[in-house]
Amino acid sequence: MKTQVLIVGGGPAGMLLSQILDLNGIDSIVIERRSREYVLGRIRAGVLEEGTVKMLRRAEVGDRLDREGYVHESVGIGFDNEVHSIDIMGCTGGSVVTVYGQTELTKDLYDAREKSGGKVLTEVEDVQLFDVDSESPYVTCNYQGEALRIDASFVAGCDGFHGPSRKAIPPSHVNEYHLSYPYGWLGVLSETPPVKHEVIYTSNDLGFALCSMRSDSLSRYYIQVPSGNQAEQWSDSAFWGELKRRLPEAVSRALVTGPSIEKSIAPLRAFVADNLNYGKLFLAGDAGHIVPPTGAKGLNLAVSDVYYLSNALVDYYKTGSEDLLSNYSTTALNRIWKTVRFSLMCTRMLHISPDSTPFEKKIQQAEIRYLLSSAAAKTTFAENYVGLPY
């Protein structure tokens, strides 16, 4: 098999890239390790920056998002037993975020690729990358019981943190930066109405809590839990009890609880591969970086990577110039590091760390009070929350 761009990984990054390339007349093949059902069953975050929404419309997958997504003009910070609203629309002169689950977005992308006859091979095993630093890179894998070789002009590594693409860059060509937190988020999805039409990030002495939603009848809640906790050790009633203790009283009283339909724990960590390009191989999305979920930047960063990478590939196929491709890593990392900074700042400000000193706790509270009392601090927060410009 032969293609112009071989895309490893059929998550949102790989599927969006393949969709945009197709709209620009560039051929691609996506190879995905999991089944389509598995990929579309994963529950992930759901707050889309304005730039993400624009990209999805540009990729002609914005219709359902425009119909069903929830536009949020503000974000709530739960602190000192109250919810303090930050008017992100007012602070940014008109920008908003849209709440729309990553699961739905990925489904829209799979549907769009299917409709236009896109080549998406799922349940592909043993993917290996070869000669990515040459003019003729290729990938081998097993597909439907047969060995397959795919030759390509470019390889896009969109295969998440554990995928093989990043490992194809020699260690001497990439610096990897890691940070892990001694806690994670226990998330619950429930068929209950959201407690408020606003995402609420709460800081409490017992730990962080987050109220979010997917629709009028589907809610998503999280609580900070120590590393090593397992989702199975948390019964629904233990979860709801702990969530209620952490939320401001008025929110706790209004909270409607119900059986969980999904419950899982995500560890909190940050990771950046500082070099997203080696020869004809380009990394995008979680393959190149992970952010802690505070601020919901993971998916949005994957989309901004795809913005830069698709522009560079389209420019190459239109003009023959490799300038944008050569600059891809630097350009994308510039925005990635700034977004990692914001995610870390939010994480540090809102969580209770088991090893923080009384002094650090006081500073943390002062940081929240400063945010809630300063127009300049709110504007800075809002500017990052709606997404830095591409």
User: Which letter does DSSP use for residue 255 in this model?
Assistant: P
Binding segment for ligand APR (CB under 6 A), chosen from 27-35, 173-181, 214-222, 310-318, is 27-35
Give yes or no for residue 44 binding ligand APR (CB under 6 A). Answer: yes
Nearer to ligand PHB, 280 or 297 (CB): 297
What burial class does residue 239 get, using C-beta atoms within 10 Å of its C-beta: 0-12 exposed, 13-18 middle, 19+ buried?
Answer: buried
| Interface positions with ligand PHB (CB under 6 A) | 45-47, 199, 210, 212, 220, 293-296
160 binds, among ligand APR, ligand PHB, none (CB under 5 to 8 A by kind): ligand APR
The label of the residue with tokens 């609420």 reads 200
Binding segment for ligand APR (CB under 6 A), chosen from 37-45, 143-151, 337-345, 379-387, is 37-45
Torsion of CA 185, 53, 62, 283, to 10 degrees: -70
Among 3, 5, 7, 9, the residue binding ligand APR under the rule CB under 6 A is 9
Nearer to ligand APR, 251 or 332 (CB): 332
14 binds, among ligand APR, ligand PHB, none (CB under 5 to 8 A by kind): ligand APR
Tokens at 63, concatenated: 């219709």
Query: Active-site residue among 70, 72, 248, 278?
Result: 72
212 binds, among ligand PHB, ligand APR, none (CB under 5 to 8 A by kind): ligand PHB
Residue number of the CB closest to ligand PHB reads 212
Give yes or no for residue 187 binding ligand APR (CB under 6 A). Answer: no
CA angle 292, 353, 185 (to 5 degrees): 40
The values of phi and psi at residue 125, to 5°, are -110, 160
Three-class DSSP category at 317: helix
Give yes or no for residue 303 binding ligand APR (CB under 6 A). Answer: no
Three-class DSSP category at 185: strand
Give yes or no for residue 248 binding ligand APR (CB under 6 A). Answer: no
Nearer to ligand APR, 61 or 91 (CB): 61
Give yes or no for residue 34 binding ligand APR (CB under 6 A). Answer: yes
- Judge contact between 343 and 292, C-beta under 8 A: yes
- Cα separation, 311 vs 263, in Å, equals 38
For residue 82, how far is the Cα from the chain centroid?
28
194 catalytic? Reply is no
Give yes or no for residue 86 binding ligand APR (CB under 6 A). Answer: no
Give yes or no for residue 159 binding ligand APR (CB under 6 A). Answer: yes
Element (H, E) at 103: helix 102-115
For residue 389, how far is the Cα from the chain centroid?
17
Amino acid at the residue 293: P
Query: Active-site residue among 138, 181, 201, 307?
Result: 201
263 catalytic? Reply is no
Amino acid at the residue 242: E
Element (H, E) at 311: helix 298-319
370 catalytic? Reply is no
Three-class DSSP category at 198: coil
Overall size of the chain counted in residues: 390
Query: Active-site residue among 84, 196, 280, 297?
Result: 297
Query: Active-site residue among 222, 307, 308, 385?
Result: 385
Three-class DSSP category at 129: strand
Nearer to ligand PHB, 163 or 293 (CB): 293
201 catalytic? Reply is yes
289 catalytic? Reply is no
296 binds, among ligand PHB, ligand APR, none (CB under 5 to 8 A by kind): ligand PHB
CB atoms within 10 A of CB 384: 21
- Cα separation, 330 vs 334, in Å, equals 6
Binding segment for ligand APR (CB under 6 A), chosen from 57-65, 153-161, 187-195, 353-361, is 153-161
- Cα separation, 220 vs 233, in Å, equals 19
User: Which letter does DSSP use for residue 285 in this model?
Assistant: G
Least distance from ligand APR to the Cβ atom of residue 109, Å: 10
Residues at the site binding ligand APR, with contacts judged by CB under 6 A: 8-14, 31-34, 39, 44-45, 102, 124, 127, 158-160, 162-164, 285-286, 298-299, 302
Enumerate the active-site residues.
72, 201, 293, 297, 385
